[in-house]
Structure 1
Amino acid sequence: MSDYERVREVDPAVADALVGERERQNGTLAMIASENHVSEAVMEAQSSELTNKYAEGYPGKRYYGGCEFADDVEELAIERAKELFGAEHVNVQPHSGSSANMAVYFATLEPGDKILSLDLTHGGHLSHGHTANFAGQLYDVEHYEVDAETGRLDYDSLREKAESFDPDMIVSGYSAYPREVEWEEIQAAADAVDALHTADIAHITGLVAAGEHASPVGVADFVTGSTHKTIRAGRGGIIMCDEEFAGDVDSAVFPGAQGGPLMHNIAGKAVGFGEALEPEFEAYAEQVVENAKVLGETLQDHGFSLVSGGTDTHLVLVDLRDSHPDISGGDVEEELEAVGIVLNANTVPDETRSAFDPSGIRAGTPALTTRGFDAEAMETVGDCIAKVIDNVGDEEVYAEVAATVEDLCNEYPLYE
C-alpha cells in the first residue's frame, strides 16, 4: 500500500487526510449499504496514468488521438460486463449511477413526460424523480409505495397506479428495499400502459452478477447501476440495454450528459469486473446475503423491528418506532459512530419524523464481508449495535463495544 510519500512532499495536509481516512476505514466497521472496499488492484488501476487521458467518444471513434490503450481498457470493461450480466449492449462511461439514470431519461423522454417510481421514503432514490433532483424538476413524477403492513412492494397496487397515471416510464430498483424484486411483475405493469421500464440495480449490481438476486437484464428495457457497491469495481455507473436502444443511449451519455469519460475509473471497472468473473466472487456474494440475514435475525432477537420482517439482499432496514420510539435514526447513527460502527439514518415507510432525522437506520454487509466477516462475526456486530441502542449514553457500555469493534478490526484487517 502507498504511504503517500509523494503527496506528503507536495501537500502534507492532504497526505494527513488520506492517511487518516485509511486508518478510519481500517479501524471502523463500514456498514453503509452503498459502500464497499475495493481490492488494491482496483485502486492501483484507478490511480494509473489514464487519469491524464482525454478520450471523448467511444472505442475506435474518439475525438482525440493517442487513445489506443484507452480503447483497450474500455473494450475490456464492456466485454466483461456483457459476460457478467448477459447484456447485448453496455455503456461503462457514466460517472455514477445517477448519471446513468440521467442518460436513460435523456435518451427516451422529453421534459414533462411522466415517470412512475418508488417514493423516496419507501426506499426509492433521488434520481428516480425527487423534486430536489433534476429528474423531479424535468419530468412529471408520481410515486408508488410499499405496503404499509408488510413493507413489501404491492405489484397489484403498482399496476393500478400505472393504469391511472399512464406513465411514459416506470422505474424499479431501490436504495433501501431489503427484498428481492420481481422484475417481470413490473415489466408487465409497464407493458400494460405501453411504458418503458428502467431497472436501477445500483445497490445489487454484484448480487445480480453473482446470481444471488434475479436479473432484470433481458426483462427491463434499460438496466442501470453503480459499479462500486456490491460489485467492488471502479467507482462509477453502467447502462445495459438491447441493441435497438444502443445508439440513443450512447449519444445521451456522450455528448448528451457528459464530456470526456473518466478513463482511470473505467480501468478500475475493467479490473473489478474481471475479479467478479472469478468463482470466488459468487461465494462472496452468497456470504453478503447470509451475513445480512444473520444481522437482521440478531437484531430481531434483541427486539428490533425490521421493515418487511427481514431481508433477501445485502441490507437491513430497522424501524426504531416500536422498540425505541424516543430515539431517532440520526441519534443512533451518531452514537454508533462513536464506538466505530458506521451506518446511516434512513427513512422508513409511513415516516413520521423529518427525512433529516428519520425513524430508521439502514445497515449493509458488503464491506464487512469483503473483510472476511462470517455469520458468527455478524452476530457479534448485531449484538454490539443492539447494546448501544439499548444503552444510549452509557459510557461503560460504549467502552465495551468499542473494544469489541477494535478486536474485530484486528481479526479482519483491511488494507495492511
Structure 2
Amino acid sequence: MTSSHSHLAETDPAVAEAIAGEERRQEENLEMIASENHVSEAVMEAQGSVMTNKYAEGYPGERYYGGCQHMDTVENLAIDRAKELFGADHVNVQPHSGTQANMGVYFATLEPGDKIMSLDLNHGGHLSHGHHVNFSGQFYEVEQYGVDPETGYIDYDEVAARAAEFDPHMIVSGSSAYPREFDWERLGAIADDVGAYHLSDIAHITGLVAAGVHASPVDHADFVTGSTHKTIRAGRGGMILTTEEHADAVDKAIFPGGQGGPLMHNIAGKAVGFGEALEPDFVDYAERVVANAKTLVDVFTDAGIQPVSGGTDKHLLLLDLRESHPDLTGEDAEDALDDVGVTVNKNTVPGETRSPFVTSGIRIGTPALTTRGMGPDAMTTVGELIVERLNNPDDPDVASEVREEVDRLCAEFPVYE
C-alpha cells in the first residue's frame, strides 16, 4: 500500500502496529469470507478524511448544525449515484450498517409484537431478520421459512401456504448464506396476497444487483436494504431504497428515530464506491465474481464435497461437510484453512445438528479474490488447495505445501500495488 501512517506511528505505535499487521495479513492471506472485500485506496482516503470531524444531523438542506454545505454535497452524491445504480425513487444512505437499515424499516412500518416472516438463520437467513438473540426477534413475533431439505432451494408454494396461515405484517427476503437467487416477484406477490409489506435485504449482493448480473428486487419490494461494503466495495455501512410513499417514514425512523449524527466519512466512502460501481468495468468485475464462484463449485463437486443446493447463482457457496468429512466440523475446517492463509468462516447448514459455534459447514466467497484479479485458473488452484487441506487437516507436510502455494498466489495477485 502507498498509504502512510507516520503520524499514527508517532502518536500511538500500538495501534499503528496493529494496522500494519492487518495490512500484511490481508496481503498475505486469501480472504474468502463472503461478506468481505477490498475497497479501493480512493474509498479509504474518503473514509479517513476530515469528514470524520463534522456533525451533520438531519438531511441535505435540513441540517441541525451549520457548516454542512460540503456534507450536503457528498451525501447528495451518494444518494444520486445509488438512485442511478439501483433505479430507486428514494435512497437513505445514513444507516451505519445493513442491520440498522433493517431496523429503520421495521421502525418505520411495524409496532412491537407485529409479525415478521423470514428465512431461517440455519437455512441462510440473517440475525436481523428475526433471530431470537437479535432485537428483531425480541420486538416482533417471527415465523421462519426454510429450504427444501432435498434440493436446498426455497419452496415458494410452502412460503405462500405458511404466509396465509401466519398472516404476517411483513415478509423479509434476502440472506447471508443462501447461494441461490430469490424469486423477488413471487415473494412480492405472496406479500401482496396477505396484505404484508415486502422487505428485501440485498446486503450480500448489492454489487451484483447494481451491475445487473443478479435480479433486482426494487420493483417487487416496498423496501430494499443492503450493506454498502460487500460486493459493491463502497464505504462500510448500510442503505435503504424505497418509494416516495415511504420516504418520510424511513427517513424519520433513521434520524431521529434510531441514529444521531451520520458518519459522514463513511458516507463519503459510499459516494466514492458508488461512483466506481457506475464505471463500465464494474459489470465485468461482478460477472467474474459469479464465474469464479461457479468454478469453485466444479472443483468441490469433483472432489466429492457437496455444496448446499448443488451450486450457486452468486458470489458465495456453502459447503456441507457432513457426508464428505463426517469427523471434520466447520470450526475445524475454518481453523485448518486459516493455518495455511485461507480465510473462510464456519457456517450452519440446513438440518444443522451442531452448535452454531461449531457447525457442519463452511461459507466461501469470491468477491475479495476477484478484486485481486483472480480468474478461473487461479480460482481452480485455490479450490484444489482448499480440498487438499480439508482432506489432510492434520498433515504438517500438506500444510506447508499449501501455505507455499498460497504465498505464491498472494504475490502474483497483490491487493494494493
Residue 68 (structure 1) aligns with: 69
> Deviation above 2 Å: which 4+ runs of structure 1?
none
Residue 77 (structure 1) aligns with: 78
| Letter matched to residue 359 of structure 2 | P
SS at match of 1:229: coil
Residue 348 (structure 2) aligns with: 347
Unaligned 5+ residue runs, structure 1?
none
Q: CA deviation at 1:15?
A: 0.5
Once residues 43 and 169 of structure 2 are traced to their aligned partners in structure 1, the CA distance between those partners, rounded to angstroms, is 38
Q: Does 1:169 find its partner at 2:164? A: no
Residue 91 (structure 2) aligns with: 90
Once residues 405 and 119 of structure 1 are traced to their aligned partners in structure 2, the CA distance between those partners, rounded to angstroms, is 35
**Residues 25-104 of structure 1 correspond to what in structure 2 (within 5 A)?**
25-104=26-105
Once residues 155 and 377 of structure 2 are traced to their aligned partners in structure 1, the CA distance between those partners, rounded to angstroms, is 34
**Residues 323-342 of structure 1 correspond to what in structure 2 (within 5 A)?**
323-342=324-343
Residue 119 (structure 1) aligns with: 120
Given that 1:3 and 1:19 are in contact with CA atoms closer than 8 Å, whether structure 2 keeps it comes out as: no
Q: Does 1:404 find its partner at 2:405? A: yes
SS at match of 2:42: helix
Once residues 160 and 385 of structure 1 are traced to their aligned partners in structure 2, the CA distance between those partners, rounded to angstroms, is 41
SS at match of 1:224: strand
Residue 252 (structure 2) aligns with: 251
SS at match of 1:303: coil
Once residues 392 and 96 of structure 1 are traced to their aligned partners in structure 2, the CA distance between those partners, rounded to angstroms, is 36
SS at match of 1:362: strand
Once residues 136 and 414 of structure 1 are traced to their aligned partners in structure 2, the CA distance between those partners, rounded to angstroms, is 39
| Letter matched to residue 285 of structure 1 | A
SS at match of 2:241: strand
SS at match of 2:203: coil
Q: CA deviation at 1:3?
A: 3.0
Once residues 374 and 222 of structure 2 are traced to their aligned partners in structure 1, the CA distance between those partners, rounded to angstroms, is 36
Residue 242 (structure 1) aligns with: 243
Root-mean-square deviation over aligned CA pairs: 0.5
Residue 11 (structure 1) aligns with: 12
Residue 230 (structure 1) aligns with: 231
SS at match of 2:266: helix
Once residues 307 and 6 of structure 1 are traced to their aligned partners in structure 2, the CA distance between those partners, rounded to angstroms, is 48
Once residues 355 and 50 of structure 1 are traced to their aligned partners in structure 2, the CA distance between those partners, rounded to angstroms, is 39
Q: CA deviation at 1:138?
A: 0.3
| Letter matched to residue 138 of structure 2 | Q
1:192-225 Cα deviation digits (max 9, x unpaired): 1000000000000000000010000121000000
Q: CA deviation at 1:296?
A: 1.1
How many residues align? The count is 416
Residue 319 (structure 2) aligns with: 318
1:234-255 Cα deviation digits (max 9, x unpaired): 0000000010000000000000
Once residues 59 and 4 of structure 1 are traced to their aligned partners in structure 2, the CA distance between those partners, rounded to angstroms, is 32
Given that 1:56 and 1:62 are in contact with CA atoms closer than 8 Å, whether structure 2 keeps it comes out as: yes
Once residues 10 and 221 of structure 1 are traced to their aligned partners in structure 2, the CA distance between those partners, rounded to angstroms, is 48
SS at match of 2:200: strand
1:254-299 Cα deviation digits (max 9, x unpaired): 0000000000000000000000000000000000000000011101
Given that 1:225 and 1:239 are in contact with CA atoms closer than 8 Å, whether structure 2 keeps it comes out as: yes
Residue 181 (structure 2) aligns with: 180
| Letter matched to residue 294 of structure 2 | K
Residue 198 (structure 2) aligns with: 197
Residue 295 (structure 2) aligns with: 294
Q: CA deviation at 1:415?
A: 1.9
Once residues 8 and 297 of structure 2 are traced to their aligned partners in structure 1, the CA distance between those partners, rounded to angstroms, is 42
Once residues 101 and 408 of structure 2 are traced to their aligned partners in structure 1, the CA distance between those partners, rounded to angstroms, is 40
Residue 23 (structure 1) aligns with: 24
Once residues 323 and 268 of structure 1 are traced to their aligned partners in structure 2, the CA distance between those partners, rounded to angstroms, is 42
Given that 1:205 and 1:229 are in contact with CA atoms closer than 8 Å, whether structure 2 keeps it comes out as: yes
SS at match of 1:198: strand
Per the normalisation by structure 1, the TM-score is: 1.00
Once residues 325 and 187 of structure 1 are traced to their aligned partners in structure 2, the CA distance between those partners, rounded to angstroms, is 39
Per the normalisation by structure 2, the TM-score is: 0.99
SS at match of 1:204: helix
Given that 1:37 and 1:232 are in contact with CA atoms closer than 8 Å, whether structure 2 keeps it comes out as: yes
Residue 277 (structure 1) aligns with: 278
1:46-82 Cα deviation digits (max 9, x unpaired): 0010000000000000000000000000000000000
Residue 380 (structure 1) aligns with: 381
Once residues 123 and 90 of structure 1 are traced to their aligned partners in structure 2, the CA distance between those partners, rounded to angstroms, is 26
Q: CA deviation at 1:188?
A: 1.1
SS at match of 2:19: helix
1:368-415 Cα deviation digits (max 9, x unpaired): 000000011000000000000001110000000000000000000112
Once residues 297 and 19 of structure 1 are traced to their aligned partners in structure 2, the CA distance between those partners, rounded to angstroms, is 36
Unaligned 5+ residue runs, structure 2?
none
1:326-345 Cα deviation digits (max 9, x unpaired): 11000000000000000000
Q: Does 1:261 find its partner at 2:262? A: yes
SS at match of 2:358: coil
1:104-156 Cα deviation digits (max 9, x unpaired): 00000000000000100000000000010000000001100011100011000
SS at match of 1:354: coil
Once residues 3 and 65 of structure 1 are traced to their aligned partners in structure 2, the CA distance between those partners, rounded to angstroms, is 32
Residue 365 (structure 1) aligns with: 366
Q: CA deviation at 1:355?
A: 1.0
Percent of aligned pairs with the same residue?
A: 67
**Residues 147-162 of structure 1 correspond to what in structure 2 (within 5 A)?**
147-162=148-163
| Letter matched to residue 54 of structure 2 | K
